[in-house]
A and B are shown apart, each in its own frame.
Chain A
Amino acid sequence: MDHEFRILPDQASSVASQVDSLYFFLLGVTAFFTVAIFLAIVFLAIYYRRSANRHSAQSHSGKTWLLEVTWIVIPLGLTMVMFVWGAKLYLEMQTPPDDAIELQVVGKQWMWKIQHPQGRSEINELHIPVGRPVRLRMISEDVIHSFFIPAFRVKMDVLPERYTTLWFEATEPGEYYLFCAEYCGTDHAKMSGRVYAMPPADYAAWLAGTTTEPPQAAGAKLFTRFRCHTCHHEGPDARCPSLQGVFGTIVALADGRTAQVDEAYLRESIVDPLAKTAAGYQPVMPTYAGQLNEQQLFQLIEYIKSLSPSGATNDPS
């Protein structure tokens, strides 16, 4: 992040050099055709300039269709290369590995709040280890934002009421810019921060330098505070389904459909419980929308996940 003049950002993630390779291919094609057209125009305009013995043109005689077909096929072929190359890389960039560390990101006007699984949270800063894939589960409290780390060549919009994900693997320790890329109101320009990519040992030390409780512990307290346990418990008189082991399963719904219990389903069941009522239960749960902020929703969901073996994959050890 020095201030010298440059034309490329740092290459600090596992995909950065691949994106740049494709970018250079596109640059090459662009430069070739731009220069070719420019030179052709200059040459033709000078060579066929109007003069005393050249005042009216010859007609284009003969077959021109071969030329037309040529300059249809060549751009088509080149753009298909771009499409396939781009789509393959895009798919890779959109598919997080299973062993990624999962952090939670809340965007709001005009700041980023980030929560680590071990409990440490930060604002407008993101500390991550190099050499390990990191997955961000992101949501906005208000308008659309977009999480953008130029040095990693990654960007994803952050939406209200809906989780989106972004993943990357930092390869170079260092300090990088974090920007909001989607215009979000007055202080959009100030909604930026720093990413600190650290060697794993340093990251562990940074994580340890905190007394904040892990999100699942905070979520357990919320679970008690909002008296969720009065209905969600095991036993014959439970008015709502038990949450033990529910994450990662497929549950039957009262209307005959089924639902995959993932973070999005859990969040919806808290803020809009009647949207998908589990089979065998009455639609009695009130909504908690407005009573819990997005960070508290994350914590509750982390707690519910910790009740299932499959939800513990992101356990910080």
Chain B
Amino acid sequence: MTNSPADGRNYLNADYRFRSWLLSTDHKRIAVLFMISVTMFFFVGGAAAVLFRLELMSPRGDLVIAETFNKLFTLHGVVMIFFFLIPSIPAVLGNFLLPMMIGARDLAFPRLNLASWYIFMTGGVLAVGAIVIGGADTGWTFYTPYSSTYSNTNVVVMALGAFVAGFSSILTGLNFIVTIHTMRAPGLTWFRLPLFVWAHYATSLIMVLGTPVVAITLLLVALERGLGIGIFDPKLGGDPILFQHMFWFYSHPAVYIMVLPSMGVVSEIVTCFSRNRVFGYRFIAYSSLAIAVLGFLVWGHHMFVSGQSIYAGMIFSFLSMFVAVPSAVKVFNWTATLYKGSVSLETPMLYALGFIGLFTLGGLTGLFLATTAVDVHVHDTYFVVAHFHYIMVGGAVMGYLGGVHFWWPKITGRMYPEWWGRLSAGIIFIGFNLTFFPQFILGYLGMPRRVHEYVDEFQVLNVMSSAGASILGVGYLIPLAYLIWSLRYGAKAGDNPWGAQGLEWTTQSPPTTFNFPETPVVEREAYAYDVDPATGHAAGSA
């Protein structure tokens, strides 16, 4: 089953000139550009985390001064959220795979896709520039009136970075929606789409509908700060609670921008390494849409003690509970997909199963925060920090790494070293839990987040967390090393090393510039692992 053209051309060696990368409109090359960019941002954000975890080894502020500490956690939050988590899976894996999964030659708007990368990098340069000229200390949440009036740091430049990067996200989402609607191969009906595509469709809806609101909000903060126009600062006639409503209207759905694509990745990996049809295809597909829609109705659960009406608080609590249902549906369906499968545990599968476990704990601890009376106590403590890291790192980053390993052979044509892959997946899982599990306990004990110093009795748990962070750091450096190594020394992958279903595996690795020699025709549902591809009949294990 090989489609390699005789001349051995692929998208990587089609043209070696530098400008052929920087001006490429090939979705695969743009995906590679994004991969390099977000990896750099990931290690910048990670370095900040290492520094402040070192500071938190002791209760006194003795490694860095308070200003530096505040700038470090702001940098960590802004870079990780706006420049790693939000673009990671959509702009890298989504960009690379979405056209291939639907049998298309490219996205609907290839030049817009390239523009997305340039806009993203402009935002990144602004954010990094804000750090270079002294940093900002507002936290990634930019709460007013601190950000708009009181902070003496480079808030406007930092906010502008996030503002600009938002447009990249909007354009990527727009591109995906149009592509999925208009460019599916013959026979590829909506319910034959891989769940990865459904997840990206739901994500794109949030990107297009939510991101403009945060862009407006950040712009208003900049206007208030620069021109003294009273929007959020009550001393200028504004309302700081209004900022929180507008900010969370985007930033809660943004959590689903980060985790929904990961869920799409997990659906692909779990089916492939179980050699099984996905359990409850339509339930998983619709649950992605349900999460995207519900995500827009729950922002007020960040504000139970903000001064918003207590009855509004109760309504937001009630609505937040419903998010648990589609989330639980996904977890149960993935687990059931293993049933009567033929399960093998290569690196991508380890990450996918890790995702399911950590997302389960992350999701369930979200219920503590949706429950008003308990949230009053744990709001703005380390409990919240632990919860969202279980979702964003345990969920989104695990999914991203699983996806990178799964599709690495397709992207590069080379295999990564399996032993090292499994080892680092294990190290990351252990390091992650050691870092963040103690933070749940710290939060319930009452340790507030974003503190440079803390009372002595919190030290043991903080030392555990910092120790875990160093293990986690090592766990992230190992894949960086062996993946780069594999580009030259990895075994040749072949078209379909995993025996996976899905159109992207029917073409050569790495693919040619236009993906398929001729437009494929789809005759089956996704994940037909029980169907013999040669005969089209059910094979089964019997």
* Residue A201 lies at the interface, judged by CB distance under 8 Å to chain B: no
- CA distance in complex: A4, B145 (Å): 39
* Residue A60 lies at the interface, judged by CB distance under 8 Å to chain B: yes
- CA distance in complex: A59, B304 (Å): 46
Asked whether B321 lies within 8 Å of A79 as measured between CB atoms, the reply is yes
* Residue B536 lies at the interface, judged by CB distance under 8 Å to chain A: no
Shortest CB distance A14–B (Å) = 13
Contacts of A9 in B (CB 8 A): 444-446
Q: For B452, give its contact among A57, A75, A159, A188 (CB under 8 Å).
A: A188
* Residue B66 lies at the interface, judged by CB distance under 8 Å to chain A: yes
- CA distance in complex: A57, B529 (Å): 7
Asked whether A189 lies within 8 Å of B66 as measured between CB atoms, the reply is yes
Which B residues, 280 to 308, have Cβ-Cβ distances below 8 Å to chain A? Answer: 280, 283, 304-307
* Residue A164 lies at the interface, judged by CB distance under 8 Å to chain B: yes
Most buried by B among A5, A57, A160, A190: A57
Most buried by B among A60, A86, A89, A153: A86
* Residue A157 lies at the interface, judged by CB distance under 8 Å to chain B: yes
Over the window 187-211 of chain A, the binary record of Cβ atoms lying under 8 Å from chain B Cβ atoms (1 yes, 0 no) is: 1111010000000000000000000
Asked whether A144 lies within 8 Å of B335 as measured between CB atoms, the reply is no
* Residue A214 lies at the interface, judged by CB distance under 8 Å to chain B: no
Asked whether B151 lies within 8 Å of A50 as measured between CB atoms, the reply is no
Give B304's nearest chain A residue, CB to CB: A90
Shortest CB distance B369–A (Å) = 10
Contacts of B530 in A (CB 8 A): 56-59
- CA distance in complex: A192, B450 (Å): 13
Shortest CB distance B300–A (Å) = 13
Asked whether A86 lies within 8 Å of B374 as measured between CB atoms, the reply is yes
* Residue A41 lies at the interface, judged by CB distance under 8 Å to chain B: yes
* Residue B5 lies at the interface, judged by CB distance under 8 Å to chain A: no
Shortest CB distance B367–A (Å) = 6
Over the window 41-84 of chain A, the binary record of Cβ atoms lying under 8 Å from chain B Cβ atoms (1 yes, 0 no) is: 10011001111011111111000100110011001100110110
Asked whether A37 lies within 8 Å of B371 as measured between CB atoms, the reply is no
Asked whether A57 lies within 8 Å of B274 as measured between CB atoms, the reply is yes
Give chain A's interface secondary structure class.
mixed
Contacts of B276 in A (CB 8 A): 57, 59-60
Asked whether A144 lies within 8 Å of B240 as measured between CB atoms, the reply is yes
Once A37-B335, A68-B283 are accepted as A-B contacts, the answer to whether A183 and B139 lie under 8 Å apart by CB is yes
Asked whether A177 lies within 8 Å of B446 as measured between CB atoms, the reply is yes
Asked whether B444 lies within 8 Å of A33 as measured between CB atoms, the reply is no
Asked whether B446 lies within 8 Å of A58 as measured between CB atoms, the reply is no
Contacts of A125 in B (CB 8 A): none
* Residue B50 lies at the interface, judged by CB distance under 8 Å to chain A: no
- CA distance in complex: A164, B344 (Å): 57
Asked whether B540 lies within 8 Å of A59 as measured between CB atoms, the reply is yes
* Residue B61 lies at the interface, judged by CB distance under 8 Å to chain A: yes
Asked whether B380 lies within 8 Å of A22 as measured between CB atoms, the reply is no
Q: For B373, give its contact among A58, A93, A160 (CB under 8 Å).
A: A93
Contacts of A161 in B (CB 8 A): 234-235
Stretch at the interface among B19-27, B89-97, B258-266, B323-331: B323-331
Stretch at the interface among A23-31, A97-105, A215-223, A230-238: A23-31
Shortest CB distance A64–B (Å) = 6
Q: For B449, give its contact among A30, A159, A183 (CB under 8 Å).
A: A183
- CA distance in complex: A9, B240 (Å): 31
* Residue B12 lies at the interface, judged by CB distance under 8 Å to chain A: no
Asked whether B450 lies within 8 Å of A64 as measured between CB atoms, the reply is no
* Residue B493 lies at the interface, judged by CB distance under 8 Å to chain A: no
* Residue A313 lies at the interface, judged by CB distance under 8 Å to chain B: no
* Residue B125 lies at the interface, judged by CB distance under 8 Å to chain A: no
Give chain B's interface secondary structure class.
helix
* Residue B460 lies at the interface, judged by CB distance under 8 Å to chain A: yes
Asked whether B235 lies within 8 Å of A6 as measured between CB atoms, the reply is no
Asked whether B541 lies within 8 Å of A53 as measured between CB atoms, the reply is yes
Asked whether B374 lies within 8 Å of A157 as measured between CB atoms, the reply is no
Over the window 26-62 of chain B, the binary record of Cβ atoms lying under 8 Å from chain A Cβ atoms (1 yes, 0 no) is: 0000000000000000000000000000000000010
Give A86's nearest chain B residue, CB to CB: B371
Once A34-B361, A34-B364, A56-B540 are accepted as A-B contacts, the answer to whether A64 and B280 lie under 8 Å apart by CB is yes
- CA distance in complex: A34, B331 (Å): 11
Asked whether B343 lies within 8 Å of A50 as measured between CB atoms, the reply is yes
Asked whether B342 lies within 8 Å of A56 as measured between CB atoms, the reply is yes
- CA distance in complex: A49, B343 (Å): 4
Which B residues, 98 to 143, have Cβ-Cβ distances below 8 Å to chain A? Answer: 137, 139, 143
Contacts of A33 in B (CB 8 A): 360, 364
Shortest CB distance B314–A (Å) = 5
- CA distance in complex: A159, B143 (Å): 12
Contacts of B181 in A (CB 8 A): none
Contacts of B340 in A (CB 8 A): 48, 57-58, 60
- CA distance in complex: A59, B289 (Å): 26
- CA distance in complex: A146, B139 (Å): 16
Asked whether B460 lies within 8 Å of A186 as measured between CB atoms, the reply is no
Over the window 182-218 of chain B, the binary record of Cβ atoms lying under 8 Å from chain A Cβ atoms (1 yes, 0 no) is: 0000000000000000000000000000000000000
Asked whether A23 lies within 8 Å of B344 as measured between CB atoms, the reply is no
Which B residues, 348 to 369, have Cβ-Cβ distances below 8 Å to chain A? Answer: 353, 356-357, 360-361, 364-365, 367-368
- CA distance in complex: A135, B457 (Å): 29
Over the window 109-153 of chain A, the binary record of Cβ atoms lying under 8 Å from chain B Cβ atoms (1 yes, 0 no) is: 100000000000000000000000000000000111010101101
Shortest CB distance A2–B (Å) = 8
* Residue B169 lies at the interface, judged by CB distance under 8 Å to chain A: no
Shortest CB distance B385–A (Å) = 12
Once A50-B343, A189-B453 are accepted as A-B contacts, the answer to whether A41 and B235 lie under 8 Å apart by CB is no
Asked whether B66 lies within 8 Å of A187 as measured between CB atoms, the reply is yes
Most buried by B among A2, A8, A189: A189
Give B532's nearest chain A residue, CB to CB: A56
Q: For A67, give its contact among B61, B310, B336 (CB under 8 Å).
A: B336
Once A58-B540, A184-B146, A189-B452 are accepted as A-B contacts, the answer to whether A90 and B529 lie under 8 Å apart by CB is no
Contacts of A164 in B (CB 8 A): 307
* Residue B338 lies at the interface, judged by CB distance under 8 Å to chain A: yes
Asked whether A6 lies within 8 Å of B457 as measured between CB atoms, the reply is yes
* Residue B70 lies at the interface, judged by CB distance under 8 Å to chain A: yes
Shortest CB distance A229–B (Å) = 28
Give A41's nearest chain B residue, CB to CB: B353
Once A59-B538, A164-B307, A181-B380 are accepted as A-B contacts, the answer to whether A72 and B329 lie under 8 Å apart by CB is yes
Contacts of B321 in A (CB 8 A): 76, 79-80, 82-83
- CA distance in complex: A162, B307 (Å): 9
Q: For A26, give its contact among B307, B332, B367, B455 (CB under 8 Å).
A: B367
* Residue B474 lies at the interface, judged by CB distance under 8 Å to chain A: no
Asked whether B450 lies within 8 Å of A183 as measured between CB atoms, the reply is yes
Shortest CB distance A264–B (Å) = 12
- CA distance in complex: A281, B375 (Å): 46
Q: For A60, give its contact among B151, B277, B343 (CB under 8 Å).
A: B277
Which B residues, 388 to 426, have Cβ-Cβ distances below 8 Å to chain A? Answer: none
Asked whether B145 lies within 8 Å of A160 as measured between CB atoms, the reply is yes
Asked whether B373 lies within 8 Å of A50 as measured between CB atoms, the reply is no
Contacts of A86 in B (CB 8 A): 317, 371-375
The 7 A-B pairs of least Cβ separation, nearest first, read A150-B446, A161-B234, A86-B371, A90-B372, A89-B373, A79-B321, A44-B338
Q: List 26 A-B contacts (CB under 8 A).
A: A4-B457, A9-B444, A9-B446, A18-B373, A26-B364, A26-B367, A29-B364, A33-B364, A40-B338, A41-B353, A50-B343, A51-B342, A55-B342, A56-B539, A75-B324, A79-B321, A83-B371, A144-B143, A150-B446, A159-B307, A162-B307, A182-B143, A185-B150, A185-B151, A188-B70, A188-B451
User: A6-B457, A30-B365, A86-B317 provided; 12 other pairs, C-beta below 8 A?
Assistant: A15-B373, A29-B364, A30-B364, A45-B345, A56-B539, A68-B280, A76-B321, A90-B310, A90-B373, A177-B446, A185-B151, A189-B453
